[in-house]
Homo-oligomer: A and B are copies of this chain.
């Protein structure tokens, strides 16, 4: 079975790569940047080059969907580079192609705040897609960089789907009908995503789950049934948002970057600041088997379970990662 995770953010080391490999994970969309500027992002990419050299038997870079198949054949974990924000391109349209050449295949148009391209889901007002944003969407469409609106606000997300000539993704978020968090998506967004051929990656991050860390597998999987009805079962995947091996300072960086001198608690709160506890049925990549069982128990057939756990992402990446003139 092909298992593709639409997003993980992990402080990787040999042990964690080994665990992902042993769990049979075929590919993971990893995060290269949250608030990093161009120069800092290159350093992060350089660090990944070192990891590829250090663990050639465990991981390999993914630039095309064919690379994912190659990862599967060689029993390694394929690594897809992505940005959770547009900060790496600064104000320079040229850097979309530059980062595409460096293997970046996914970029969110915003994190939780207003960006140069779009509004984040924590802003009080939603700018929609900006002037620069329209240019960047065109350019991402041209080179084959997947537009990800996981952290973006409602109007911006709807506009991105309209403006993009290629389907977009919400790599890691849940339906708001399941749990009404700012980060989760309205039924209107999910419907538009489905109609436009986009992909939804369901999140296992406790703040996106009904009853948080105490969410049950049954509850999650019955939500998946309803989500599949809205976006289409071929457009549903997992984007676990699994975060591992980080200390609190990383969470502070993700939440507060350099944009506030105060503490921003993000999805947490003053009395619940730290990394949330994962639900016991999804503590690591090994637990994709639990998801598979849960989806089956919720009524998905075997083919659909395989589609949701990996094949849908594989097909979607195949149509998303190449230049526009080759794939459209």
Contacts and interface: CB of A to CB of B under 8 A. Distances in A.
A94 interface: yes
Nearest to A49: B97
A95 interface: yes
A101 interface: yes
A283 B97 CA distance: 35
Given A38-B39, A39-B38, A49 B102 contact: no
Interface string A270-298: 00000000000000000000000000000
A136 to B, nearest CB: 13
A43 interface: yes
Given A39-B39, A42-B38, A98 B102 contact: yes
B94 A43 contact: yes
Say how many copies of this protein the assembly contains: 2
Interface in A118-158: none
Interface in A27-70: 38-39, 42-43, 45-47, 49-50
Given A38-B39, A39-B39, A46 B95 contact: yes
Interface in A153-211: none
Contact of A42 (B46, B47, B98): B98
Contacts of A78: none
Contact of A46 (B39, B45, B97, B103): B97
A262 interface: no
Chain A interface SS verdict (over half): helix
Interface in A83-137: 90, 92-95, 97-98, 101-103
A42 B97 contact: no
Nearest to A44: B94
B101 A43 contact: no
Nearest to A47: B94
B46 A98 contact: yes
B38 A98 contact: no
Contacts of A103: 101
Residue picked from A39, A42, A45, most chain B C-beta under 10 Å: A42
B46 A92 contact: yes
Nearest to A93: B46
A85 to B, nearest CB: 17
A155 to B, nearest CB: 30
Contacts of A38: 38-39, 42
A43 B90 CA distance: 11
A232 B93 CA distance: 46
Contacts of A93: 46
Given A38-B39, A38-B42, A42-B92, 19 more contacts: A39-B39, A42-B94, A42-B95, A43-B92, A43-B94, A45-B94, A45-B98, A46-B92, A46-B93, A46-B95, A46-B97, A47-B94, A49-B94, A49-B97, A49-B98, A50-B94, A101-B101, A101-B102, A102-B102
The 3 A-B pairs at the shortest CB distance, nearest first, are namely A46-B94, A49-B97, A42-B98
Interface of A: 38-39, 42-43, 45-47, 49-50, 90, 92-95, 97-98, 101-103
